[in-house]
Amino acid sequence: MKLGIGRKKSEQNTSPSVIQTKRKKSKKFKVILAVFLAAVIAGGGTLAYLHFNAKKVSAGSTQTFQTVTKMDISNSIAVTGTIEANESRTVSTLVSDTKVLSVSVNIGDYVEAGDPICTFDTTSIQDKIDRLLKKMDIAEQQDALEEAMAQAALNRAQEDYNTNVSENALDMTGSARSYSDSERNVSDAERSLSNAETDLASAKADYEDAKDDYEDAKDDYEDLKDIYEEYYETTDSEKRESVLSGSGYSSIEELKEALEEAENKKDSYKSTMESKEDSVTSAERAVASAESSLSSAQSSLESAGDSYQKSVNSAADESKSDTRTIEDKENTLKQTELNNATTNDENQQQLEEYYEQLEDCYVTAPISGIITSLSVEEGDEYNTSNSTQEICVIQDDTSFKVTGTVDQYDIASVSENMTAVIKTDATGDDEFDGIVTFVAPTPESSSSSGSSSSSSTEYEVEISLLDKDSRLRLGMTAETSILTESRKGVLAVPYDCIEEDKDGNSYIYIAESGGTTEKDTKNSTSDNAASSAGKGAEKGKKTETTNSDGTAEITTKKVAVEKGLETDYYTEIISDEVSEGDKVLVPNSISSSSSDSKDSNESSMLGGMGGMSGGGGAPGGGAPGGGGGHM
């Protein structure tokens, strides 16, 4: 049975690891008052008695401090559901008009997959199978004889075809060989032509290079010759000196030697150029010869191709005639096979049904598990009208899941693979780890009526248990918390310790100086100090308070923080200036004696309660409404 689920508050006796549900900030004033009263009663908050004159408060003012604690905090959604098997099968059979011969199990038995459950009488169905098999065997023998005769006729036609193909192949082989030789000759001629053209191109390139070298050497020689002649055209020593100076040579002998070297170089390059020119001429003749050889080879190839085509055409004509004969025989064989193919179709279908009925007579366990329901006994008669009735139900008792529903307001926060914590009445405060394995895409609708009718929209979820425990049983009610957000080992304080300035920046006040203890401290303070502590001083500004006897004082410092995960009670704070164990002022926690009788009574009450002994700190994970984190 599935139980409907709404949002569930954490109970007061919840262990420290129970997850907090979402907080309702709209009732912050009531939460602050409840927290403050719980802190005073428990004696866990540090109290500082401050004196101020604001609003005509005369003396004995007090403030509450909370301790910065490193803890694990989280938010969750509560689900109440039923423990079910992760896998369950209803076993049935399709047999009809059959008696139950034996039943191998009882309710509560454990079975492995494949173990026998029950057996039905197979005498009638086995007799039907034997008679049908004999009928089918005779029909198959008749079909085989017809197909053998058609196959023999086809084989003879194929033999005639193969003989003709062999003879024609000999003729075509000779023609093909001649054609192949001609093809090789054409390839050789093309290769020779290609090589000759490559040689010609190379020879032309060499010639151009040699020609360029010759032209350069010739220009160098002519330049030196002009300088040399200019030197001897005058007898004036200064002019001669100027000619030598402009040429870069230091003496006429050096110039003459350079001129002779240039002339030799020019003559050498000229000889090389002429040799390369002869090579070009030879290469051109080779190309012409290769072109002629290629033309002759191509003509021979064309003639060989004509001869080969004639032999191919002759063989094709004969092959076409033989092929038609073979096709006729193949068609005859195929028609015979087609006619015989359906001979036993109906019989085969009937046989398969008989075999299925025979198999259904032996019922086995589809999965391993406990027999939780058994609906047959030995000697029962199965009739056609009840052919799908239930035999038994098997549930796997080694793997459990919790099935429940989540309302439409929370379902968007739930997704598969989220972790969960599960508790049952049978296991007390013991908790079991789980994981969400299914979230329904569509809702289950339910309605309730009293003086008026109302309806709710809920979605089914399944949470698989990761732990095994012998105390768990199918059908138990389970309380589950689905973890939607979590932080481990973070610094946290009650959310009402955090204030925001007009720009939306978060900050807290940390107690800095002496005069405070693990319990409470009574101080008096000036009006300005109280106002600064309550409303928030400038960043880094200290607020000092002094005892009425002047023996101790408290200093608080404004520290900027970043808020992390927020739960019903605790909020993660992030700041390099905050450490575990720091005392944080609870804003707006000031109370005092007053000329007004109501204020006086409240001050007396708080003062009287402040002396009670108790554990440290404000309510934690067990506080109603979700509480804080677990340390």
- For residue 224, pLDDT beyond 80: yes
Query: What per-residue confidence (pLDDT) applies to 398?
Result: 87
413: three-class secondary structure by DSSP: helix
Q: Is 303 left (phi over 0), alpha (psi -120 to 50) or beta?
A: alpha
- For residue 472, pLDDT beyond 70: yes
Query: What per-residue confidence (pLDDT) applies to 445?
Result: 61
- For residue 226, pLDDT beyond 60: yes
Share of the chain above pLDDT 70, in %: 74
491 vs 487: CA distance, rounded Å: 10
Q: Name the average pLDDT for the chain.
A: 76
115 vs 381: CA distance, rounded Å: 23
Residue 251, token pair as written in the block: 């003496």
| Phi, psi (degrees; rounded to nearest 5) at 466 | -90, -15
| Phi, psi (degrees; rounded to nearest 5) at 101 | -80, -40
Query: What per-residue confidence (pLDDT) applies to 40?
Result: 38
CA-only gyration radius of the chain, Å:
54
Nearest to 63 by CA among 614, 522, 499: 522
102 vs 194: CA distance, rounded Å: 93
Q: For 293-310, how does the pLDDT look when each residue is reduced to its tens digit (9 = 90+)? A: 888 888 888 888 888 888
Residues of the chain with CATH 1.10.287.620: 125-359
- CATH 3.30.565.10 describes domain 93-121+361-390: no
Query: What per-residue confidence (pLDDT) applies to 46?
Result: 34
Name the β-bridge partners of 319.
Answer: none
- For residue 61, pLDDT beyond 50: yes
> What b-and-e string marks burial along 176-212, b requiring 16 or more CB atoms within 10 Å of the CB?
bebbeebeebbeebeebbeebbebbeebbebbeebbe
**Most confident of the following: 192-196, 238-242, 324-328:** 324-328
Contact 314, 168 (CB under 8 A): yes
Q: For 404-444, how does the pLDDT look when each residue is reduced to its tens digit (9 = 90+)? A: 999 999 999 999 999 999 999 999 999 999 999 999 999 98
Provide mean pLDDT across the span 65-79: 93
Provide mean pLDDT across the span 621-627: 36
Query: What per-residue confidence (pLDDT) applies to 540?
Result: 40
Least confidently predicted of 358-362, 512-516, 611-615: 611-615
215 vs 208: CA distance, rounded Å: 10
Q: What is the DSSP letter of 11?
A: P
230 vs 234: CA distance, rounded Å: 7
In Å, what is the CA distance from 429 to each residue of 398, 478, 524? 22, 12, 46
Q: What is the DSSP letter of 428?
A: T
Q: Where are the alpha helices (DSSP H) in 517-615?
A: 527-535, 597-610
Contact 259, 221 (CB under 8 A): yes
Q: C-alpha dihedral over 389, 391, 395, 401, to 10 degrees? A: 10
Contact 102, 515 (CB under 8 A): no
Rounded to two decimals, the pTM is: 0.45
Q: For 557-596, how does the pLDDT look when each residue is reduced to its tens digit (9 = 90+)? A: 999 999 999 988 999 999 999 999 999 999 876 554 443 4
- CATH 1.10.287.620 describes domain 125-359: yes
98 vs 120: CA distance, rounded Å: 6
55 vs 61: CA distance, rounded Å: 12
- For residue 48, pLDDT beyond 50: no
Contact 318, 168 (CB under 8 A): yes
Q: For 510-557, how does the pLDDT look when each residue is reduced to its tens digit (9 = 90+)? A: 998 544 443 343 333 333 333 333 333 334 444 444 444 444 457 889
Contact 182, 301 (CB under 8 A): yes
618 vs 44: CA distance, rounded Å: 6
Name the β-bridge partners of 491.
Answer: 70
Task: With cut-offs at 50, 70 and 90, classify the pLDDT of residue 16.
Answer: very low
Higher pLDDT, 219 or 389: 219
Q: For 79-115, how does the pLDDT look when each residue is reduced to its tens digit (9 = 90+)? A: 999 999 999 999 988 887 788 999 999 999 999 999 9
Contact 534, 61 (CB under 8 A): no
Report the half-sphere exposure of 519 (CA within 13 A, side-chain side): 10
Query: What per-residue confidence (pLDDT) applies to 11?
Result: 36
Higher pLDDT, 341 or 32: 341
**Most confident of the following: 44-48, 60-64, 235-239, 559-563:** 559-563
- For residue 452, pLDDT beyond 60: no
Query: What per-residue confidence (pLDDT) applies to 464?
Result: 96
For 389, the enclosing helix (H) or strand (E) is none
Maximum separation of any 2 CA atoms in the chain, in Å: 151
Provide mean pLDDT across the span 160-179: 87
89 vs 392: CA distance, rounded Å: 9
Higher pLDDT, 454 or 477: 477
Query: What per-residue confidence (pLDDT) applies to 590?
Result: 54
Residue 292, token pair as written in the block: 């002629």
Least confidently predicted of 38-52, 108-122, 256-270: 38-52
Nearest to 400 by CA among 442, 432, 431, 371: 432
Query: What per-residue confidence (pLDDT) applies to 172?
Result: 85
